[in-house]
Structure 1
Amino acid sequence: MCAYFRASNKPLLMARSGIVFKDTTVKVTTEKLPKSLIALQIEIDRDQFERSLDQAARRLSQKFPIQGFRPGKAPRFIIERTFGREALIEEATEELINTGYRKAIKQENIEVVGPPNLDKIHSIEPFVFTVHVPVPPTVTLPDYRSIHVPLEVEPITDEMVEAALEQIREKHLTLQELDEPRPAQQGDQLQVRLKTEIEGEEEEATEEQSEEAADDSEAKAETAADTEQTDDEEEEEEDDEIENEGSEETLPLEPNRLVPELYEGLIGTSVGEKKTIVAVLPEDHHEESLRGKKITFHVEILDIKRRIVPAWEELPALESFNGTFEEFRAHVRENLANQERKRAEQEQLNAYIEQLVEQTTFDIPDVMIRDVAHSMLHEQEQQFARYGITLDQVLQYRGVTHDQAVEELIPEAEKQVKVTLALSEVIKQEGITVGEDEIEAEIQTILESYDEKQRPQVERTLRGQLRSSVANVVLDKKLRARLSAIASGNSTDTSDSSPAAPDAEGATDVTNSDEPVSRSSNEA
């Protein structure tokens, strides 16, 4: 008996219809458990227990007809004598638990956020059992208005402006075939087959790659044993290695675009030439793990073209800017300043939320976190499907089961749940709401980014199925504005925050409007 009713994650609310509880109460004892669980000890009264056995007897008679009686019509004492009282109790137990549980949560006015879990059946007569029920999480915020994070906006330098202008000019470059073959020179664009080897770097090979490496080692051992191999054959083998393992790349032959040794080594090369170039990456290299390391480039020149870039004075017209080049330069600087401020505001917001979550006390049911982990895996499944790949194929390739994949996502899911709960509590305490006029204003802002022909259809969608998403966009902006003010130490105003000025680009992306504000976006 006890083994049959072992605790499990299987939802209890799967009862068949049949038992009807009269308008009576069940005896319920509650106990608060960690992780937002409540233990409910429920006792069914004697009369209801007997009525349940009557219903169970009818079901058994229906399943296993008794000779001389129509299915479901055999008296209870005949059923009990034929199958035994224990069989009758076992038949009634599942429905007793389910119906008793529903009666208990209604009677005690308990809000649940997931399926209950049967913990124990204490006794049969009287019928007493305990279930663990997940209830809404509790969130205790710290003094969140005392959390301050400085806004660190980096100044825009002339070098940053020049680099941005150079990127814009590169966007409009054209490539021209050489009139006649010649060696590569500064300003050219090279199409190469390139293989790189970084000092001390070990490849993490898959099992298939490991087998290939083993085969390659055997081949090299045989080659080493062949004392008659000529220098020419060795060079051919090296060339074949570049051809087989290298990848095609495009390299602009400009001194500020390549490491010095690679740039100098490529100057003067010709189509068809193969070359090995060794360089030491500078200590200020953008990737910290590579600083000061020796890197070997195996290069084969496939093609050489001239890079034709527009003159600086042509950039305003090419970018549809109405003004002089100096005015365009000022425009670029202003854009860089706006981007830098948004970046700084987002970093400030992320740092504030991180501290907020660290200082908040949570009591969260595991089922809530697990549900988010399942949703995250489902999102991954949809992303894979866009490329014609199934989740099962990915899991098989990784060598993990579905349950293991969910477990891997639990830490990230827990972070997401905590951020959402903490921010929801801030919204509640700050009294941030969204009015209909604000939703309408946001819809109009979004519509302005569409042409006249598209607007009617887009407007119907925004006012219909995406209206809640638009409301989330407005709420997100107001929450961002409020958190930024608090983080900057300007938390005296507790009135309902006004939405931040809409970002023309971000405002149209209503499909992602329900993302938590802790994620990076263009809306700061």
Structure 2
Amino acid sequence: MKSAVETLEPTRAKLTVEVSYEELKPSIDHAYSHIAEQVNVPGFRKGKVPARIIDQRVGRAAVIEHAVNDALPNLYRDAVAETGIKPLGQPEVDVTEVPNLTGAVGGQLTFTAEVDVRPEITLPDLSTYEIAVDSVEVTDEDVEQRLESLRERFGTLVGVDRAAADDDFVSIDLRATVGEEEVDSVTGTSYQVGAGTMLEGMDEAITGLSAGESTTFTTTLVGGERAGEEAEVTVTVNSVKERELPAADDEFAELASEFDTIEELRADLREQVGKDKNSNRAVAARDQLLERLRGEIEFPLPKNAVDAEIKAHLEAEGKAEDDPHGEEVREDTEKAMRDQFILDELAQALEVQVGQNELLEFLLSTSRQYGMDPNEFIQSAGQAGQIPVFAGELARNKALAVALRKVKVVDGEGKDVDLSDFIGSDDEDAAAALAEAAAVADAAEPAVESADSAESADSGDSADSADSGDSADSAESAPSAD
């Protein structure tokens, strides 16, 4: 087999592949055998029909077509490996020459395959990079805020005979109408005034209402079939409660922690805040590194690959291919693809490898993020062919962490910052530690277990409840000679 590659555009290539009759003959023989199993010819048993009879009854052209379609996927993959191109998505295949159709031995198969390819990317010298992050200073205010969060977890809700104010917990009924039509209603739902997690304008409407009082306000619906429409919403307050916090004393320290005194608890919270701020610095360094790489590396994106991503996005939302929303998400799609290409190149340059144990841990962590049973998540991902996608994502995360080892990181005073706890060393894994740091940085209350979705403000005394607030990786696809 001979193959040659022609660059049509910076992100598109054309393969020309020539396959001799002898190389294609196994596929031709297999085509005869397969057709012989399917045709009924008087005087011959199935599977025993001679080639010349098949040529007479079915036609040599059908045999060659069968053989070519059977051989093309492997021939294409071999040509990709031989030429070293990095294809994206489905190739456009055109068969330009086939072996003799007269039954005589000879001729060759020739086909072309046009396909998007990964852009050429030149990485900068990371050893020249210097990234500045904040100095770590834990203030008394930081500690008191953390202590306040912990006290809130152990607070109780107490009914009050007054109008609702910020941070109060209310039980409310809602009724929404568009014109004369009622489009939605709920009763007895719990809400913390000022949380801003429901309808726009509701906080202002509730503030100042006492139990048994109602008001109506105009807002834009954000969910359901009438999303985006303007509606009149009537809200009725059933009850008002405020949260009482336990005193910050030794008794509370014993209740809420393993410590005997409030000062011991404060000291532990101070240490936790320091660890969290260091985690935030690691994440900030990671984000700055990626942002700098984005700004300094220029390369064209394959338009077909971007369009395919947008099409898949629209299909997932049940929208037509020409829906205007496609152009709205183009910028984000291009940004995500650009990041992916940069990190893939980084992973290759740094020779990042993903071990089975690392991948398993990554899948387990991802399953927890989705709130799914790990076994079901992994099984579902395997059936959908998504395991390689997750492996690619892990490799990119790991590449960014490993890249940080080559970058000089300093604090606001110009002092070197040691991020080894979060990016590992040459002898240990980095991705898991950095991912854990990112998870801590993203958490609402990093050092204190996040509150469970708590009981409604009406049904219990706990105050917990009201706090609630295919890609460029597509592998080389098997073409056909349609």
SS at match of 2:438: coil
The answer to whether the aligner puts 1:193 opposite 2:172 as a matched pair is yes
Amino acid at match of 2:420: A
Query: Alignment RMSD, CA only?
Result: 6.2
Q: Which of 56, 62, 68 is the equivalent residue of 1:93?
A: 68
SS at match of 2:121: strand
Partner of 1:122: 96
The answer to whether the aligner puts 1:320 opposite 2:257 as a matched pair is yes
Note the C-alpha offset of 1:92: 3.6
Q: Are the structure 2 counterparts of residues 44 and 171 from structure 1 closer, same or farther at C-alpha, using a change threshold of 3 Å?
A: closer
Partner of 1:169: 151
Distance 2:145 2:435 in 1: 31
Partner of 1:520: 438
Q: Are the structure 2 counterparts of residues 513 and 116 from structure 1 closer, same or farther at C-alpha, using a change threshold of 3 Å?
A: same
Partner of 2:377: none
Aligned sequence identity (%): 22
Q: Are the structure 2 counterparts of residues 63 and 324 from structure 1 closer, same or farther at C-alpha, using a change threshold of 3 Å?
A: closer
Note the C-alpha offset of 1:136: 7.1
Amino acid at match of 1:302: S
Partner of 1:22: none
Q: Is 1:175–1:308's contact at 8 Å kept on the other side of the alignment? A: no
Note the C-alpha offset of 1:353: 0.8
Matches within 5 A, 1:417-496: 418-419=338-339, 422-423=342-343, 425-426=345-346, 479=402, 482=405, 485-486=408-409
Q: Is 2:347–2:395's contact at 8 Å kept on the other side of the alignment? A: no
Q: After superposing the two structures, state which structure 1 stretch, 409-418 or 79-88, moved more.
A: 409-418
Partner of 1:27: 2
Corresponding residue pairs, total: 370
Q: Is 1:176–1:305's contact at 8 Å kept on the other side of the alignment? A: yes
SS at match of 1:520: helix
Q: Is 1:261–1:277's contact at 8 Å kept on the other side of the alignment? A: no
Q: What do the CA deviations read for 1:35-81 (whole angstroms, capped 9, x no partner)?
A: 76653322233566688666655654553344444545555455444
Amino acid at match of 2:123: L
Note the C-alpha offset of 1:143: 3.6
Distance 1:96 1:472 in 2: 33
Q: Is 1:32–1:38's contact at 8 Å kept on the other side of the alignment? A: yes
SS at match of 2:405: helix
Matches within 5 A, 1:74-89: 76-89=51-64
Note the C-alpha offset of 1:411: 7.2
Q: Which protein shows a greater Rg?
A: 1
Q: Can you give the 5+ residue segments of structure 1 that lack an aligned partner in the other structure?
A: 1-25, 197-208, 220-240, 253-258, 279-295, 378-391, 443-467, 504-509
Q: Which of 265, 290, 293 is the equivalent residue of 1:356?
A: 293
Q: Are the structure 2 counterparts of residues 146 and 191 from structure 1 closer, same or farther at C-alpha, using a change threshold of 3 Å?
A: same
SS at match of 1:139: coil
Partner of 1:204: none
Q: Kindly indicate which of the two structures has a greater share of residues assigned to strand.
A: 2
Partner of 2:20: 45
SS at match of 2:276: helix
The answer to whether the aligner puts 1:249 opposite 2:191 as a matched pair is yes
Partner of 2:178: 213
Distance 1:100 1:144 in 2: 39
SS at match of 1:347: helix
Distance 1:187 1:263 in 2: 9
Higher relative contact order (CA 8 A, sep 6+): 2
* TM-score in terms of structure 1 length: 0.49
Q: Which of 346, 354, 379 is the equivalent residue of 2:283?
A: 346
Q: Kindly indicate which of the two structures has a greater share of residues assigned to helix.
A: 1
Matches within 5 A, 1:97-112: 97-98=72-73, 100-101=75-76, 104=79, 108=82, 110=84
The answer to whether the aligner puts 1:151 opposite 2:133 as a matched pair is yes
* TM-score in terms of structure 2 length: 0.52
Q: Are the structure 2 counterparts of residues 319 and 186 from structure 1 closer, same or farther at C-alpha, using a change threshold of 3 Å?
A: same
